[in-house]
């Protein structure tokens, strides 16, 4: 009898010893979740409503509209935005300006374009950048129901498209600015979106030329409408678009947002749409994706095409509480990314994935992480079927730099690894991606 009791006690002790690192990691992660929940509690419906009303009060924010009027046109809207960002302590506000000559079908005259960039500086030595953005310009069809681009002063209040996104941007900046973050966050109000993603294209190209380390781009565009033109209402779901393939950087960013939202805002559904944007359309994340950066787009579950790009796009037709929920989940994602450690490297200096067949039949994962391991909780391994849309299993790997799955083929599964900070916040998952094969070239002479 005593031997049985001792045996049970020993088994219990072994289980506790082996389980305690993972249990401790879960406790740390729980603290991170509480930190995010406290941050999103600060989102104010009143602030969002006030910002949307002010932006629509400029009547139009068409890129080619009046630049110098006090209360009308894109110039007045731009100056108001600059003042609002400047009111927030801890932000550096930059006017990213360009002069555009008349060109193409949509830019029918010479004009200025100004992106407004509010920078929350992070502590990372490597200047890790996270960009969250919306566009502040608008456009509306003319009385004939068509886009006449020379009709630059048509009333275009753009409350949903995209004052809703800009309002969320301002609210997130107010809440995040006083907090310490590891990464630098840029809150950007782009111009020229309606002329063909002009402002974001120019900025993305500049970032690429300067070799900026952009870890994530999150675009908010139309996030306050809940009823479509057929009368269907949806106030508990948001669509998040991300570029193919299934293991792309953008797709992994979308999964990160979904996982974060599930723990901080469980009543709200994140519907991942596995394509770059709505069919045949584009958003300000697209130019960054084209430059090789991870980018995703948030858009309401139900669009009302009869209101978009018309004088009817006013706050009276919107749900501010719905806009607030999308602001909360975006804020949680941005803050989590910014406060988490940098992701591990899973590619060698020669560009080869650090994934091997151990003794032919095991999956041996290794990674490189050059940070201070005293400042992390540990690494986490993720596994899913190659066809699966989401990660299916995870394993806590401690603070080592490798992990082995016995008798598991590296051919049939997708693997990833993240790092969890001492604050409980997790990095993006670095995926072991299969490198593309190059077409072989041989020197030969054809025999005759």
pLDDT tens, N- to C-terminus, the chain (448 residues): 444 544 444 344 444 444 566 777 788 888 999 999 999 999 999 999 999 999 999 999 999 999 999 999 999 999 999 999 999 999 999 999 999 999 999 999 999 999 999 999 999 878 899 999 999 999 999 888 888 898 998 999 999 999 999 999 999 999 999 999 999 999 999 999 999 999 999 999 999 999 999 999 999 999 999 999 999 999 999 999 999 999 999 999 999 999 999 999 999 999 999 999 999 888 999 999 999 999 999 999 999 999 999 999 999 999 999 999 999 999 999 999 999 999 999 999 888 999 999 888 999 999 999 999 999 999 999 999 999 999 999 999 999 999 999 999 999 999 999 999 999 999 999 999 988 888 889 999 999 8
Q: Which CATH superfamily hosts domain 32-339? A: Zn peptidases (3.40.630.10)
The pTM (predicted TM-score) of the whole model is: 0.92
* 447 conformational bin, left if phi > 0, alpha if psi -120 to 50, beta if neither: beta
Say if residue 189 is exposed, middle or buried (CB neighbours under 10 Å; 0-12, 13-18, 19+): buried
The residues of the chain that CATH labels 2.60.40.10 are 355-431
- On whether the CB atoms of residues 221 and 298 are closer than 8 A, the answer is yes
- Find, among 135, 136, 63, 60, the residue nearest to 106 by Cα: 63
By residue count, the chain amounts to: 448
363 Cβ contact partners less than 8 Å away, ≥ 6 residues apart: 355, 357, 404, 405, 408, 409, 410, 413, 415
431 Cβ contact partners less than 8 Å away, ≥ 6 residues apart: 247, 252, 346, 414, 415, 416
- Find, among 79, 74, 84, 72, the residue nearest to 48 by Cα: 84
Name the CATH topology of 355-431.
Answer: Immunoglobulin-like (2.60.40)
Helix (H, G, I), strand (E, B) or coil at 444: coil
Would you state the pLDDT for residue 135? 98
Helix (H, G, I), strand (E, B) or coil at 216: strand
Q: What is the DSSP string of 327-396?
A: HHHHHHHHHHHHHSPPPPB-B-TTS-BSEEEETTTEEEEE-B--S-GGGEEEEEEEEEETT-SS--EEEE
CA distance 236 to 214: 30
Q: Give the CA diameter of the chain.
A: 93
- On whether the CB atoms of residues 355 and 434 are closer than 8 A, the answer is no
The residues of the chain that CATH labels 3.40.630.10 are 32-339
Helix (H, G, I), strand (E, B) or coil at 220: strand
CA distance 109 to 67: 13
Q: What is the CA radius of gyration of the chain?
A: 25
Q: What share of the chain is helix, strand, coil (3-state, %, to 5)?
A: 30, 25, 45
């Amino acid at each position: 009898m005593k031997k049985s009791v001792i045996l049970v006690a020993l088994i219990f002790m072994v289980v506790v010893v082996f389980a305690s690192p993972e249990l401790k990691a879960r406790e740390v992660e729980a603290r991170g979740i509480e930190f995010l929940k406290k941050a999103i509690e600060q989102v104010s419906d009143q602030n969002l409503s006030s910002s949307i009303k002010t932006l629509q009060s400029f009547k139009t924010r068409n890129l080619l509209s009046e630049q110098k009027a006090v209360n009308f046109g894109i110039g007045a809207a731009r100056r108001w935005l600059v003042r609002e960002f400047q009111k927030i302590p801890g932000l550096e506000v930059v006017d990213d300006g360009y002069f555009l000559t008349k060109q193409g079908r949509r830019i029918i005259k010479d004009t200025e374009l100004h992106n407004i960039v509010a920078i929350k500086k992070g502590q990372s030595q490597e200047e890790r950048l996270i960009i969250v953005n919306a566009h502040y310009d608008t456009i509306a069809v003319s009385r004939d129901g068509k886009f006449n681009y020379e009709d630059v002063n048509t009333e275009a209040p753009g409350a949903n498209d995209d004052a809703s996104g800009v309002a969320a941007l301002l609210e997130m900046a107010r809440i995040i600015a006083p907090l310490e973050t590891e990464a630098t966050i840029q809150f950007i109000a782009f111009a020229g979106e309606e002329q063909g993603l002009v402002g974001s294209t120019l900025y993305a190209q500049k970032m690429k030329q300067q070799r900026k380390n952009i870890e994530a781009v999150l675009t908010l565009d139309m996030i306050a409408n809940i009823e479509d033109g057929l009368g269907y209402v949806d106030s508990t779901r948001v669509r998040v678009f991300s570029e193919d393939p299934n293991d792309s950087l953008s797709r992994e960013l979308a999964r990160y947002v979904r996982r974060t939202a599930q723990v901080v805002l469980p009543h709200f559904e994140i519907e991942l749409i596995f394509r770059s944007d709505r069919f045949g359309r584009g958003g300000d994340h697209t130019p960054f994706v084209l430059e090789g950066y991870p980018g995703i787009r948030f858009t309401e579950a139900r669009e009302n095409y009869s209101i978009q790009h018309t004088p009817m796009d006013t706050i009276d037709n919107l749900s501010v509480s719905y806009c607030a929920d999308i602001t909360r989940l975006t804020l949680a994602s941005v803050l989590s990314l910014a406060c988490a450690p940098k992701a591990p490297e899973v590619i060698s200096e020669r560009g080869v994935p650090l994934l091997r067949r151990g003794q032919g039949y095991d999956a041996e994962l290794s990674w490189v992480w050059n940070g201070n391991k005293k400042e992390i909780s540990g690494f986490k391994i993720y596994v899913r079927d190659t066809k699966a849309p989401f990660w299916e299993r995870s394993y806590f790997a401690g603070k080592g730099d490798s992990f082995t799955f016995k008798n598991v083929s590296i051919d049939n599964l997708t693997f990833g690894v993240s790092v969890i900070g001492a604050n409980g916040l997790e990095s993006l998952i670095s995926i072991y991606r299969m490198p593309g094969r190059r077409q072989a070239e041989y020197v030969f002479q054809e025999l005759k």
